[in-house]
Homo-oligomer: A and B are copies of this chain.
Amino acid sequence: MLSHKYPFMDYKMQLFLSKFKNKIDQKGRVSIPSQFRSILFQDGSQKMFCYPSLDAEAIDAGGDSLSRDIYALMDNLDPYSDEKDFLSTALFGLSEELRIDSDGRVILSDALIQHAQIIDEVIFVGLGQKFQIWEPNRFSNYLQEAQKKVREQRLLLSKKSKGF
C-alpha cells in the first residue's frame, strides 16, 4: 500500500533530480536527459510512462515503478466507487507508454503537448519517484509559486528535517 507506513522511497532507489532543458525537433523528437534515461532503463524497459498531470499544465512521467504505483493506488479503491472510475479515466485513460528510440528520444503525443502547452522546448523536472515535463515559461512561474510555498512552510519543515 502506498502510505506513510510503507514508504516507497527505498533509500537505494534512484531518484529523478534536477532539471534539464531540451529542444523538440521538426519531427517532434525530444531527448530524455541521460540521467533520467538511465533510471528508466534500469528495469529493462524502453518505455516512458506518462500522462497529463492532474493539477498542473505539465506532463507527469516515469518508469515502471511509477505505473506500478499508480496501478496499486487504483487497486486500493472501492471497485464500484465513482472515485475509482474517475481516477482510472483520468490516469489510465489518458496515460501513454512512449517508446524511447535508439538515441534516447521520445515523441510526445498531441494530447500531451496540448495539455502542457508545449511549443518547441521543454524542461524536465525531477520530482523524486517521477518527473514532469513543462513548457519553460510555465515552469518558471510554477517554480516561483512552489518556492513561495516552501518558504511559508519553512519553520514546520526545519523542525522535522534535521537542518535542511
Contact = CB atoms under 8 A, between A and B. Distances in A.
Interface of A: 2, 4, 7-9, 11, 15-19, 54-56, 60, 66, 68-76, 79-80, 82-83, 85-97, 109, 111, 125-130, 132, 142-143, 145-147, 149-151, 153-154, 157, 160-164
A79 B88 CA distance: 17
Nearest to A9: B75
A96 B35 CA distance: 11
A146 B128 CA distance: 28
A150 B8 contact: no
A90 B147 contact: yes
A16 to B, nearest CB: 7
Given A109-B18, A128-B71, A54 B86 contact: no
Contact of A11 (B55, B71, B79, B94): B71
